[in-house]
Structure 1
């Protein structure tokens, strides 16, 4: 990875963190300029509350991508990557998910934003709301999956399927948090930026597409499906 790429990744990561910080400041105000956006969450939860089948599906998503679920999904990715002897990429995936979780928890404890008063009544959450842990971890997980797909998998149906899966998972989890009323929309947006910011930072630090062959580092798969730098 070139120095210019590292600088760009770090700059984009800092920009994401700046967005999270801005949201954190705004939502702490008594009359937040984002109140109108957050109130959309009440309407979304009211609508979902009238669809029993949808609520059941949303609960499945909620449980499947909670802490235990995220550990399981991350483990699957790590096992798959280690199976291809991409240990740097495995360390990258673990580090990004751990840092995202710790950063999310730290911000929750610092800002102490209450949950929406209209959240779905089954298994009410009393922990702090900002930023959304589901959103931050799903954004990080989706980013990891997408990055590894484009770095380590050659062009074709598998790469496309993994990319689409990553995007669908992230979007689904974000909507799940709003439709169940577990989070304000601003929590979800900030959580997503946090996850992406940590992801970009992890790429800059780990350069996870790089592999080592006979003691020498070499890049991952290029856009043609061949090892970059090879014949």
Structure 2
């Protein structure tokens, strides 16, 4: 119970921070202008062609179609080949929850996209929170948990964990670089992803233990 309460506290803190950020986005957007503009200028620079090509590819790989294909295949592999039923549900379920909440919050806060030069076609829908940032980070954090629990080699474990987080960060940076999101949209997406993973983790961990115990008794 104490362990669950710790996760509930972390979930509450992250959710409060997300709501406060969303409140600022909705009612006091000018408070975020300076920091958003500064980070945008640093990330975008003079828009070199090499980085533009790279980030276009990154943002495409982190898009809706690809992310759902990746997660479906990984979850299917967990479920069928490894018999990791709880892990498959944890990964796929977190992405599904993120999609629902991210879409709902987008239309709740209804933030316009940045008034910058877009390097890709302007995406549909409001700007806050970033769907790309939230989805890739929720998948990365879910995999970090699964990798931590399932792999034994410390080198492989840390290497894979760092890799999935870096991929999520690069996807988020690509959205700023390409001009379609404010940095505060990215932060909102990350807070939402963290909230979901931490909130779901105690239930996932309990089911994981129960199902492993049941399988050993058969």
In the superposition, the TM-score normalised over structure 1's length comes to 0.86
User: Of 166, 171, 190, which aligns to 1:192?
Assistant: 190
CA gap 1:157/1:6 in 2 versus in 1, 3 angstroms: same
**Corresponding residue for 2:178?**
180
Confirm or deny that 1:81 pairs with 2:78. yes
SS of 2:199's equivalent in the other structure is: helix
Write the mapping of 1:105-120 to structure 2, written as runs, cut at 5 A. Answer: 105-120=103-118
Q: How far 1:119 moved relative to its partner?
A: 4.2
CA distance in 2, matches of 1:214, 1:37: 50
Unaligned runs of 5+ in 2: none
CA distance in 1, matches of 2:87, 2:72: 13
In the superposition, the TM-score normalised over structure 2's length comes to 0.90
Bigger shift: 125-134 or 34-43? Answer: 34-43
CA distance in 2, matches of 1:214, 1:184: 46
CA distance in 2, matches of 1:48, 1:95: 40
CA distance in 1, matches of 2:180, 2:194: 21
Q: Is the 8 A contact 2:40 2:183 kept in 1?
A: no
CA distance in 2, matches of 1:166, 1:174: 13
Q: Is the 8 A contact 1:88 1:211 kept in 2?
A: no
**Corresponding residue for 2:57?**
60
Q: Is the 8 A contact 2:15 2:191 kept in 1?
A: yes
CA distance in 2, matches of 1:46, 1:160: 30
Q: How far 1:185 moved relative to its partner?
A: 0.6
CA distance in 2, matches of 1:115, 1:129: 5
SS of 1:215's equivalent in the other structure is: helix
User: Of 34, 37, 41, which aligns to 1:36?
Assistant: 34
Runs of 4+ deviating beyond 6 Å: none
CA gap 1:48/1:132 in 2 versus in 1, 3 angstroms: farther
**Corresponding residue for 1:122?**
120
Confirm or deny that 1:143 pairs with 2:125. no
CA distance in 1, matches of 2:154, 2:196: 28
**Corresponding residue for 2:68?**
71
CA gap 1:104/1:214 in 2 versus in 1, 3 angstroms: closer
Q: How far 1:79 moved relative to its partner?
A: 2.5
The two structures, once aligned, show a CA RMSD in angstroms of 2.0
Encode CA deviations 1:122-177: one digit per residue, 9 max, x unaligned. 31224200000011111101101111000111133321221111221121112111
CA gap 1:91/1:108 in 2 versus in 1, 3 angstroms: same
CA distance in 2, matches of 1:46, 1:161: 28
**Corresponding residue for 1:215?**
214
CA gap 1:34/1:214 in 2 versus in 1, 3 angstroms: closer
